[in-house]
Amino acid sequence: MSDYIRRLPVYLLLDCSGSMAGEPIEAVKQGLKTLLSELKGDPQALETAYLSIITFDSSARQICPLTELMLFKEPQISAGGATALGGALKVLADCIKNEVRVSTATQKGDWKPLVFLMTDGAPTDNLDEGIDALKRVSTGNIIACGAGANANANSLKKITNNVLMMNNLTAGDMAQFFAWVSSSIQVSSKSIDAKPGEAIQLPPPPQGFVIVP
Amino acid sequence: MRSGEVISAVLENGANIEFVFDANAPRGGMKHTFFTPDRKYAVQFFNEPKDARNPLLQDRIRTITGIYNPTVSEADGGAIGNTEKTAEYFRQRFCWPVAIVKYPEFGIVCPTYPQNFFFGSDASTVLNLKGKDKKSNWFTGRNRKYLTTAERGDFRTMLGTAISLCRSIRRMHQAGLAHSDLSCNNVLIDPRTGSAVVIDIDSLVVPNKYAPEVVGTRGYIAPEVLSTMGLDFGDPNRALPCVQTDLHALPVLIYEYLFCRHPLIGPKIYSKASAEEDDFLALGSMATFIENPNDTSNRPPDLKITINSLSKGLEKLFLRAFVDGLHNPSERPTAMEWERELLRAWDKLVPCANPNCEKKWFILRDDNNTVCPFCGKKASDRTIILSFKREMPGKKGVYRDKGEAAVFDRMPLFDWHIFSNVHNDEKADPQMRAYVAFHNGMWLLVNSGAEGMMSPSGRLVPKGSAVELKDRAVFRMSAKENGLLCEVTVNNC
C-alpha cells in the first residue's frame, strides 16, 4: 500500500567563505556526519525529514537537493571566497518553490520547511534582495546562527526573529550546534502540540549560545 | 558538572542513589534522563523548575509510585490486592516509577526497560541501531524495511504484542488510571518475542488528583482532544486526556501492529490551505477511518488486507473504535474488551502453509476457509476446532461456550483451556498442560500435565497419553471441579 507520510523539508544553509577554512569547515563536515547518523536513529525523523544543503561563499548553490535521509550522500565542501548570504537566501527561495509540495485540492502538501542558517561573517552581497525573495515563499521556522566574533547579529535579525550567537568557532561549539539542529529536527518531526499556523517549539539552545532578543 | 561525573542523590525514603551526569542527557517534552552507574535505573528530572516544585504534581507522582503501583506487591506498599506474582508480571510490562528523589531536586527513579527492548547489533544491515529503544514505529511504518526479517516478527508475535499492551492498559484502567500519552514513543515493543513495555508513566491521570498538562503525541491524540486544544485548560469544552482518550490511542497502536499502517492517515484531502491545517482536521474534528464502510473518502485505493481479514470479533471492535466511537468517546471499546477479543483471535491463529509468507500466521475467520489472507495460499484441506464448554453451576448437563481453539501441530494448551475458572491473564499459570501433535496420520491431544483428563469413552488419560481428535469427539479436559468439556469438529475445506 502507498503511504501518506508528509515530508518535513529541512534546509541547511552553510557559510563556506574563506574565514571558515581550517578547523571550522572540518567541524562542519563532522557535524553533518553526526547529524545524519543521529537522525537515522530516530524513527520519526527517518520517516519524515528530507534534507537539503545550500552552501555559500562568493556565490551560492544547492549542493544537495532535498533528499530522504537514507539516500542522502554527504557532500564535498571546502572553504574559500566571500559571504554571499543574500544569494543563499535567493537559492533557498527557489529551492522551496521547486521542491516543497504545496497543499492543493488533489495533493497532500509537505510540512512547512525548517531552515537552519550558519554564518561566521557579515554578508558581502545584497542581503535585502535575498530577504525579499524569501518573503514570497512559505517557511516554518528559520533559525540563524552567527558563529564567532565576526558574525553580524543585526543582519541575521533582518532575516528571522530566531537568532543565536555562538561565541567561538571551535569544533566543540560546532558539534553542539549540529546536535541542537538534530534535536530540533527530531522534535519537529514529532510535531507535538502543532496547531495549524503555530510555530513549532524547538528545544532550548545549547549552553554558551546566546539568543539575540 | 561534567559529563561522566557521578552524583549522589537522596530519595524521599532516606536512601541514597547515584547517577551519572550527562550534558547531552536524553530530553523529552517534560523530563531529562540520567542513569545509575550500573544502568539498572533511570533517574529523571523535570525540564521546568516550576514543574519540579509543583506540590500537586509531586503529590500525584507519590500516589503513582505508591498505592497505584502494580509493579509492587500490596505487602511492599504497592497496589491493593497485588501479589508478588502479579507485581513481577507487570514489572516486565511497565517502567513504573519506584522511588522519588528529593535531593538535589525533585525527580523520579524508574527501572530501565528489559534488554529485549533495545536493538541488538543484528537488527539492521543498513542502519546502526544497536542500543536504541524499540519504539513501535520502527516496526509499523516505512522504516520496517530497514530491519532484518527476524527483527520484524510475524503476525502471531504482533498479535501477542497487542495482547501484552492491552493487558497492561486494562490493568491501569482497572485502577482508574489513564496513561494520557499512549503512543509509539511511550510503548516499546519487541516483535521477536511478542511483548510490549509501557514507559513514561509519570504523566498518568490519577483519580481526584491534579491532572497533568499533556496533550499527547501526533497520531495518537483523540480527535476531541486535538480539536479542542486551542481552548483554555480550564474551559469546560476542552477535552483532556482520560481513560476514554487512551481508548482511542490503544486501538490505533493495535491497528498499527496488525496492519503496519495508521488507521486515520489516508488519501483524503481535508484542507488545501496548508499541511498543518489538513493534518489538524484529518486527525481531529473530521477524522475518517480509512476502512470506514459507510464513508470511503479516505480509503486508499490499493487496500488489500483489511479488518475483514481478522476475526469477526476484532472487526466489530475496530468498527466501534474508529467508526462509532471515533467522535463519540463513550462508544469506544474498553481495554478489557480488546484483551478478550485479541485472546479469542489468538486461539484461532493457524500457521500459513507458504514458507515464504511474510506474516507466517493468520486468524482462522471462517472454519471452512483456510486461505491465508496475506499471501493467498491455502493452508490445508481441513480444520480441527476444539470448542470448550463449561457446565452451568447447579445445572448438571447444561453447558455454555467458553471459547474455541483452532488446532495445529504442536499447539500448546494451558489451564485456561482446561478449567472454566481460569482466564488467560496475569494470574494464570503459564505452564503448558497439554499439546496437539500430528502423529502417524492422526491428530492427537497429548496430556503433558493436565490432571483428570478423560477420553471420549470416559477413561482417565494419564500424563504422557493422548486423546485422538476425531470429528464430533466429546471429552472432559479435566474431570476435576470446573473442568471444561471439549467438543471436536473437523471441517473439510
The CA distance from A90 to A159, in Å, is 12
Cβ contact (<8 Å) for B29 and A104? Answer: no
Closest Cα in chain A to B181: A192
Ranges of chain A whose pLDDT falls below 70: 1-2, 191-201
- Would residue A206 count as lying in a domain? no
Q: To the nearest whole number, what is the mean pLDDT of chain B?
A: 94
Query: Domains, chain B, ranges and CATH?
Result: 1-112 (3.30.200.20), 117-347 (1.10.510.10), 381-492 (2.60.200.20)
Backbone angles phi, psi at A51, to 5 degrees: -115, 140
**Cβ–Cβ contact B150 with A under 8 A:** no
Identify the sign of the CA torsion B467, B472, B476, B477: positive
Nearest to A196 among B128, B266, B274 (CB): B274
Cβ contact (<8 Å) for A4 and B266? Answer: yes
| Å between A163 CA and nearest CA of chain B | 22
Measured torsion, CA atoms of residues B366, B369, B372, B376, in degrees rounded to the nearest 10? -140
What pLDDT is stored for residue A197 in this prediction? 56
The CA distance from B341 to B424, in Å, is 12
Q: Considering only CB atoms, which residues of chain A are within 8 Å of chain B?
A: 1-6, 37, 40-41, 43-44, 46-47, 70, 103-112, 138, 179, 183, 190-197, 203, 207
Mean pLDDT, residues B52-79: 91
- What are the pLDDT digits (tens) for B329-353? 999 999 999 999 999 999 999 999 9
What pLDDT is stored for residue A187 in this prediction? 77
Q: Can the peptide bond before residue B70 be classed as cis, meaning omega within 30 degrees of 0?
A: no
Cβ contact (<8 Å) for A193 and B280? Answer: no
- Which of B227, B232, B238, B244 is closest to B180 using CA atoms? B244
Alpha helix segments (H runs only) across B294-399 = 312-319, 335-347
- Which of B146, B181, B135 is closest to B30 using CA atoms? B181
Res B161 pLDDT > 80: yes
Q: DSSP labels for B384-412?
A: EEEEEEEEPTT-TT-EEEEEEEE--TT-E
- Would residue A14 count as lying in a domain? yes
Asked if residue B244 lies in contact with residue B222, where contact means CB atoms within 8 angstroms, the answer is yes
The cell numbers describing A3, all together, are 503511504
Res B205 pLDDT > 70: yes
Report the amino acid identity of residue A68. E
Q: Which of B24, B272, B291 to mutate to test the interface with A (most CBs of A within 10 A)?
A: B272
- Would residue A203 count as lying in a domain? no
Q: Which residues contact B393 (CB under 8 A, 6 or more apart)?
A: none
**Helix (H) or strand (E) run with residue A14 in it:** strand A8-15
- What are the pLDDT digits (tens) for B240-265? 999 999 999 999 999 999 999 999 99
Cβ contact (<8 Å) for B265 and A106? Answer: no
What pLDDT is stored for residue B256 in this prediction? 98
- Would residue A114 count as lying in a domain? yes
What pLDDT is stored for residue A196 in this prediction? 58
Backbone angles phi, psi at B202, to 5 degrees: -75, -10
Cβ contact (<8 Å) for B137 and A107? Answer: no
Closest Cα in chain B to A45: B143
Q: Report the share of chain B in percent with pLDDT over 90.
A: 84
pLDDT band at B23 (very low <50, low <70, confident <90, very high): confident
Distance, CA of A128 to chain centre: 19
User: What is the CATH number for A171?
Assistant: 3.40.50.410
Mean pLDDT, residues B313-322: 98
Sort strands A142-147 and A162-166 into parallel, antiparallel or unpaired.
parallel
- Would residue A198 count as lying in a domain? no
Domains identified in chain A, total number: 1
| Å between B271 CA and nearest CA of chain A | 7
| Residue A102: domain span | 8-192
Q: Identify the residue whose cell numbers are 490445508.
A: B380
What pLDDT is stored for residue A192 in this prediction? 46
The CA distance from B18 to B36, in Å, is 6
Q: Which residues contact B227 (CB under 8 A, 6 or more apart)?
A: B239, B280, B284, B285
Mean pLDDT, residues B193-199: 95
- Would residue A71 count as lying in a domain? yes
**Cβ–Cβ contact B272 with A under 8 A:** yes
ipTM of the complex: 0.89
Q: List chain A residues with CB under 8 Å of B29.
A: 192
The CA distance from B61 to B51, in Å, is 12
Mean pLDDT, residues B207-227: 86
Specify the higher pLDDT residue, B423 or B208.
B423
Cβ contact (<8 Å) for A194 and B146? Answer: no
Mean pLDDT, residues B87-91: 94
